[in-house]
Amino acid sequence: MTQSHRPRSARRTGLLAAAVAASLGLTAVALNVPSAVSAEAAPAAAAAGAAPAPGEVVLDEHFSGPALPAGFTAVEGDWKVEGGRLVGTSANSGQQSRITFGRHLDDFRIEATARFESVQDNARWTALGLDVPASGVTPWSIATMRTGTTAANGLEFAQRTPANVWNVTNTAAAPTAAGTGRDVRIAVEVHGTTALWIFDGKEALRTTLVARSADGGQALVVNGSTVSFDDLKVTALAPGGWLRPAGAPLTVFAHRGASSAAPENTLLSDEIARRGGAEWIENDVQPSKDGVPYVLHDDTVDRTTNGKGRIRDLTAAQIDSLDAGSWFGPAYAGARVPTLAAQLEDLRTRGGSLLLEIKGQHSRDEVARIVKEVRDHGMTGRVFVQSFEVDALRYTRELAPELPLGLLRGDFDADPVAVARDLGLSAYNPSDAGLAARPNVVKDLHAAGVAVNVWTVDSAARWKALDAAGVDGVITNRPAELAGWNSAWLQGGAPVRPAAPTVAITSPAAGATLDRAARPVTAVQSTGADTVRLTLDGKELAPGTALDATALPLGGHTLRAEATGPGGRAETTTAFTVAATPTGLAALVLTSGADRNAVATLTTMLGQGQYRPLAAWAEDQAGRGVVADRAGLIAADARALDTAPRG
C-alpha cells in the first residue's frame, strides 16, 4: 500500500526498543504447524487415522464411571473421579498436576465446567491444555484461569518451554471472579497458533502465539489447588474462516509491523506489533538484484535506510549492509532490512501470522521463489498473500493453491464479486476512501464468502465506522491502539449496530408537473446520515437549490438522493415532469435573454396563439436575436402547445 502515514518521533518508544531488541535473542519455541492431522488415542475416528469433520464431537466426558476414563493419562499430581466429577490436586505451587487425553487437532474447541474446591492463595490456577504431549513433558501450551480471575492476569495464555520455564504471552482480567465453590464454564477455541479464551460464555482474551507441535493433544492442569471438572468436551472446528463472526471484534493487521512505533518492515516493528496484540503482521516483499526476496515497501531503499538505489539494482550483500533503523530514531540504529526467509523464521519461532503483500510487478519465477520460502519454513498455514498486481495473484494461485489470496484496491472494481470469483480471492481489501464511497459492497462480498479488510486506518472514529459497516479487519499503523480499542469494545459487549440511514425527497413532490414559471426548492429529509448527495438527471446539486424550470427540457426528470452514515447507505428517487403551458412559454421568452425586438415578436405571436410560426421564427433567430439554447426550448414548447388538444 502507498505510504499513508509517516510514523511520529520515536522518543516515547526508545526504552521499549532496547527491551524489544534484547527480546529477539530469547530462546524460541518452535511452532511446527503440521500439514495433516495425526491420529492419537481414544476416539474411533482417531484410531482410524481420519481427521474429524468440522462440528464432530471428538470427546464428550461426564465422568459418570468409577475410574479415570479410557485414554486419560495422569502425568503428575493426584487425579481421581469422585461424585461424578474429575478431581485434580496439586500439592503446592511448584507442582503442575496434569492429565492428558485426546488427539492432535489443528482446529478445535475445548470446554469444561471447572470449580476450585480449595486453593493455597488467589494466585493459584487451573488450565485447559491446548497442545500437550501424551507424556506431559515440555514443551506445552495452555490457557490458564486463576482463582482470582479478576486480577490483571486472571486469565492467561502461556507456554512451558523446552527449558521448562514459563513464557506467558497474553493476560487479561475475567469479567467476574471464579473464587472457590463456584462452577465456571470455560472454553478455548483454537485455530492453529491463534486462540480465543471464553469465560462464562463471553470472549475475554485472544492470542496468535499458541506454540504448536506435530502431535500434542489436550490436557487439564492444576497448580497449588484442588479443582473439579465436569462436562468436558472437545469439538473439531472448521479451519478459521476469514469472515468476522458475529460478536467478534475487528481483526488487527499491523501495517508494516507496528510502523507508528518502530521502523517499518523490520523484525523490531514486527515484535512490537506482536506484543501489542496484532493478529497479523502486514509486510511487503520485493526481490534483490540476485533474486532474494526482501521485506521492503518502496521500490528504492532511499527513504528507510542509509543507502540509495532501487532494490532490484542492489545485491543481497549490499542490502544486508544497510541500516534500516536510524532514519526512524537513534534507538533503532543497526536494524536491518530483513529477508523474507528471516521474517518467516521469526514468525514461525516467535509466533504470529503474515499478511504478505507482493509489491509491484513480479515474474512467475519471482513469485515461485516467494512460494518456496513460505513452504520451506512450514508457514503455508500462516501466510495470506495480497497484492495490487493481478498477475502476481494468478501466479500464486497456480503455484500454491493452498495460500489464501487478497486483492488490494484503492477503489472497488465495477463488480468486485465477479473479480473475486475470477481470481479465487479469500479477501478483497480496499482503501478506507474506497470503502466509504461504496459501503454496501461489503454485504455483496460477504454473501460470496469473501472477507473485506480495509487499509490503512489509524483513527478510532473510523474504526467505529468500519465496525458498523461490517468489515472483517483493519490494516493499521497503530495495532496496539486498535487491539486496545477492541478490548474496550469487548468489555462493553458487541455494540448495537447503528440503524441504517433513511432518506426522502420532499420537494418537488413525486409525480409533480411543472411549467416554465415554476421554481421549486429541492428538499431532502434524512436520518442517521453523515452525508447526503442529490443529483438531477445524474448531475449533482446541493439540497435546497431552487430548480430553474426555464433551463430544463420538456418531459420527465429524475431526482436521486443518496444518504451514507454509520449504519450503511440508503437511496431514493423521485420523478417530475416539465410541461408546456402558455404561461410557462411566456416565462421562457421573457427570461431568454433575447433582444427587445425578438421578445416583442415572440410575445405577439404567443398572444395570438400562433405556436407553429413562433417555433419556426425562434429557430430562425437562434444565435442571432435569441440565445441558441433558449431558442431550442422556446421552439419545443411552442410545438408542444401547437399539437396539444384545444380546450
Q: pLDDT digit string (tens) for 371-398?
A: 999 999 999 989 999 999 999 999 999 9
The pTM assigned to this predicted structure is 0.66
Domain 251-491 has CATH 3.20.20.190: yes
DSSP labels, 18-53: HHHHHHTTSPPPP----SS----SSSHHHHTTPPPP
Query: What's the pLDDT at 647?
Result: 55
Q: How far apart are alpha carbons 299 and 386 in whole angstroms?
A: 17
pLDDT tier at 29 (50, 70, 90 boundaries)? Answer: very low
- What the block records as the C-alpha cell of 444 is 455483496
What is the per-residue pLDDT across 491-547, written as a single tens digit (0 to 9) for each? 775 555 667 889 999 999 999 999 988 889 999 998 888 889 999 999 999 888 999
What is the per-residue pLDDT across 278-320, written as a single tens digit (0 to 9) for each? 999 999 999 999 999 999 999 999 999 999 999 999 999 999 9
Q: What residues act catalytically?
A: 255, 297
- What the block records as the C-alpha cell of 272 is 512490537
Q: Which CATH superfamily is domain 502-578 in?
A: Immunoglobulins (2.60.40.10)
**Any bridge partners for residue 302, and if so which?**
none
Query: What's the pLDDT at 491?
Result: 72
- Domain locations along the chain: 44-236, 251-491, 502-578, 582-643
What is the per-residue pLDDT across 52-102, written as a single tens digit (0 to 9) for each? 998 999 999 999 999 999 999 999 999 999 999 999 999 998 899 999 999
Helix (H) or strand (E) holding 389: none
Closest CA to 473 of 492, 456, 487, 459: 456
- What the block records as the C-alpha cell of 126 is 487451573
Does residue 24 have a pLDDT over 70? no
User: Which residues, at least 6 apart from 627, have a Cβ–Cβ distance to it below 8 Å?
Assistant: 592, 593, 594
**Any bridge partners for residue 578, and if so which?**
514, 555
User: Which residues, at least 6 apart from 100, have a Cβ–Cβ distance to it below 8 Å?
Assistant: 72, 73, 75, 129, 132, 133, 134, 135, 136, 217, 218, 219
Q: What are phi and psi of 573, to 5 degrees?
A: -130, 155
Does residue 474 have a pLDDT over 90? yes
Q: What are phi and psi of 349, to 5 degrees?
A: -90, -30
Does residue 259 have a pLDDT over 90? yes
Pick the CATH number of 44-236 from 2.60.120.560, 3.40.50.10800, 3.40.640.10, 1.10.10.10: 2.60.120.560
Q: How far apart are alpha carbons 255 and 456 in whole angstroms?
A: 7
Give the Cβ contact number of residue 605 at 10 Å: 20
Give the strand pairing for 251-255 and 473-476.
Answer: parallel
Q: How far apart are alpha carbons 410 and 442 in whole angstroms?
A: 15
Closest CA to 130 of 121, 119, 143, 120: 143
Query: What's the pLDDT at 96?
Result: 94
Cα dist from 588 to 521, 546, 591, 625, 636, whole Å: 19, 16, 5, 15, 11
Cα dist from 558 to 408, 477, 512, 549, 625, whole Å: 35, 44, 11, 13, 32
Give the Cβ contact number of residue 239 at 10 Å: 11
SS3 per-residue string spanning 554-607 = CEEEEEEEEEEECCEEEEEEEEEEECCCHHHHHHHHHCCCCCHHHHHHHHHHHH
